[in-house]
């Protein structure tokens, strides 16, 4: 069983490609939609959320996890691997999307790669570092914090989306390849292709991620055996909303979505989403003193 983790819906676009090349494998997808977006979060918060999500997937029976979120892959992947993968004989593996994306960009670029992603993805500098390991390519990287929320609102076919994409793309003069370093952005592909200059290639890394995983499994048998092609989906937000919007990213209807929520530092299953109106007062710890209201 293969786990796929993303901050929300976007990783379903990666999952779509993974299932296309591994149709007989079983997948568990976890979208942290209740705490998304990650792109503007501080590093420690991203690390905390990432730990909780991969631990939940391990508890679901996954021995191999693909971190589909570019923000987590750029900021937290090495931390997750050091914390949960103990040596070459470990029975667990955690893979990311940054290296496959960098490799795909270098393979098609003529020398100047543009990278567009969330604020944390870009500020990490990870893409520039990985591309530098592969060749002497120039890298221009810019954050586009408005684009993921636009896709979350299902406005990818709107004038707002096209204008926003064009405004961001204008920051990349002279590039020959533009890497969409956020899993939401493939839904904006027509807008990107309309906005880039002639001869500029817009690269969705998801197919490269899938091809890289297929090759990795061939070299590391035993981490994920074939199953029945089953899919389970977990989310930290509203399961009904996740199922409805998630179909746009997966390109197919989602199965029933299970709800998980943070309880004492871990993600636990819940039967339903608790919706509370008005003010909320949390019970104090046993024996704790509380001041009376004034």
Q: List, for residues 34-72, the tens digit of each pLDDT value.
A: 998 888 888 999 999 999 999 999 999 999 999 999 999
33 domain residue, yes or no: yes
**Is 16 buried (19+), middle (13-18) or exposed (0-12) by CB count in 10 A?**
middle
- % residues pLDDT > 90 (the chain): 82
CA–CA dist 128, 92 (Å, integer): 28
283 domain residue, yes or no: no
Judgement on whether residues 227 and 188 belong to the same structural domain of the protein: no
pLDDT grade for 197, boundaries at 50, 70 and 90: confident
Domain span including residue 126: 99-204
187 domain residue, yes or no: yes
Judgement on whether residues 237 and 248 belong to the same structural domain of the protein: yes
CATH of the domain at 153: 3.40.50.1860
Instruction: Write out pLDDT tens, residues 151-169.
Output: 988 999 999 999 999 999 9
Known catalytic residues are 69, 182
**8 A C-beta contact, residue 176 and residue 112:** yes
Judgement on whether residues 118 and 250 belong to the same structural domain of the protein: no
Which residues are within 8 A (CB) of 14 and not within 5 positions of it... i.e. 6 or more apart? 4, 6, 66, 68, 97, 183, 206, 209, 210
Question: What does residue 179 show for φ and ψ, rounded to 5 degrees?
Answer: -90, 125
pTM: predicted TM-score of the whole model, two decimal places = 0.90
Judgement on whether residues 262 and 116 belong to the same structural domain of the protein: no
100, containing H or E segment: helix 98-108
Domain count of the fold of the chain = 2
Judgement on whether residues 87 and 103 belong to the same structural domain of the protein: no
């Amino acid at each position: 069983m293969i786990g796929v983790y993303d901050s929300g819906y976007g990783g379903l676009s990666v999952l779509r490609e993974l299932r296309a090349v591994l149709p007989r494998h079983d997948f568990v997808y976890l979208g942290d939609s209740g705490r998304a977006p990650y792109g503007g979060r501080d590093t420690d918060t991203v690390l905390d959320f990432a730990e909780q999500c991969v631990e939940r997937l391990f508890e679901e029976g996954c021995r191999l996890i693909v971190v589909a979120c570019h923000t987590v892959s750029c900021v937290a992947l090495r931390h997750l691997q050091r914390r949960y993968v103990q040596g070459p004989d470990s029975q667990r593996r955690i893979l990311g999307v940054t290296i496959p994306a960098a490799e795909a960009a270098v393979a098609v670029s003529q020398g100047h790669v543009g990278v567009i992603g969330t604020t944390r993805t870009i500020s990490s500098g990870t893409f520039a570092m990985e591309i530098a390991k592969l060749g002497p390519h120039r890298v221009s990287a810019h954050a586009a914090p408005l684009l993921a929320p636009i896709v979350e609102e299902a406005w990818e076919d709107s004038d707002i989306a096209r204008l926003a994409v064009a405004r961001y793309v204008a920051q990349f003069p002279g590039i020959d390849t533009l890497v969409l370093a956020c899993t939401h952005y493939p839904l904006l592909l027509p807008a990107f292709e309309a906005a880039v200059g002639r001869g500029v290639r817009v690269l969705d890394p998801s197919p490269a991620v899938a091809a890289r995983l297929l090759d990795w499994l061939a070299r590391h048998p035993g981490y994920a055996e074939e199953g029945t092609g089953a899919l389970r989906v977990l989310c930290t937000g509203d399961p009904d909303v996740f199922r409805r919007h998630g179909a746009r990213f997966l390109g197919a209807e989602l199965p029933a979505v299970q709800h998980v929520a943070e309880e004492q530092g871990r993600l636990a299953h819940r039967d339903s989403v608790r919706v509370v109106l008005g003010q909320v007062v949390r019970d104090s710890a046993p024996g704790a003193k509380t001041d009376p209201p004034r």
